[in-house]
Structure 1
Amino acid sequence: MAADVTVRREAFLQHVKERGEYGTLQEAERAARVVLALLGAHLVGEVRAQLAARLPEGFALILLNPLQSAEPLPPERFVRATAAWIEGATEQTAAWDVSAVLSTVADATGDDLLEQILLQLPAGYDLLFGRPQPT
């Protein structure tokens, strides 16, 4: 069973690495940790638990023990907060980081759960997940 968790973790990071065009898995992991910690602060209850169940274990724990957020951040501020947590990041690179991680998360969740996640977030997150919703 441990091997399966490792493979899932490697596969998840590989997707983030490819989408973010990172040079190393470490860079992909750093982006994933920050974005998931911020995302976890925005999700509650069953939706957060269901998403955590679909992520590799280490990332699930990050999602379930999030950075505290006083209020749900609109997408632009979420990107800015990501930039603040990643050393040397700019808003442009952070937008790239967020997109690489959240589009990978979207692939892992499936449409039904993603719809529930988006209902808990301020408008505009559909674009960060790479799943624009019809308006």
Structure 2
Amino acid sequence: MQREAFLNQVQERGEYPTRTEAERAARIVLALLGAHLVGEVRAELAARLPETFALILLNPLQAAEPLSPERFVRATAAWIEGATEQTATWDIGAVLSVAADAAGEELTQRILLQLPPGYDLLFGRPQDTTAPEHSPPNR
């Protein structure tokens, strides 16, 4: 995906008035995400992102432990000046949904397997967690 196309989509989904705001959100969210992905999955996602953002993903902030989705939102809010948890959730959704589109469904599923439960909502890919109902056996 080209840089301009990626940023256009982030700007549109995040409803940012300027490209600068979209780029700031993308840089911060991808830096935090990169700290939580490892190996082939991180490399494959990076290969599908524009080079600028691929480098950010591959040279992430260091994470001592995987963050729950709630802590990921709080960390994002801490890095974005003036952000609240609500605005950070919006920023994350804008960036990660575009990244998921670039990644495709198969890679997105492998990414979600590396992350704590609940990230599917941040990626805009809610998973069906309901257990299938069991029918009584036919007699």
Q: TM-score range, shorter-chain basis?
A: over 0.9
Q: Distance in 2 between matches of 1:115 and 1:96?
A: 21
Q: Distance in 2 between matches of 1:111 and 1:19?
A: 19
Which residue of the other structure, out of 87, 99, 105, is the alignment partner of 1:105? 99
Partner of 2:134: none
Partner of 2:136: none
Which residue of the other structure, out of 11, 25, 34, is the alignment partner of 2:19? 25
> Does structure 1 residue 89 correspond to structure 2 residue 83?
yes
Q: Superposition RMSD on alpha carbons, in Å?
A: 0.8
Matching residue's letter, 2:119: Y
> Does structure 1 residue 128 correspond to structure 2 residue 128?
no
| Bigger Cα Rg | 2
1:10, distance to aligned residue in structure 2 (A): 0.6
TM-score of the pair, normalised by structure 2: 0.92
Partner of 2:37: 43
TM-score of the pair, normalised by structure 1: 0.94
Partner of 1:80: 74
Gaps of 5+ in 1: none
Deviation digits for residues 96-117 of structure 1 (CA, Å, limit 9, x no counterpart):
0000000000100001100100
1:56, distance to aligned residue in structure 2 (A): 0.1
1:134, distance to aligned residue in structure 2 (A): 1.0
Question: How many residue pairs end up in the alignment?
Answer: 129
Partner of 1:67: 61
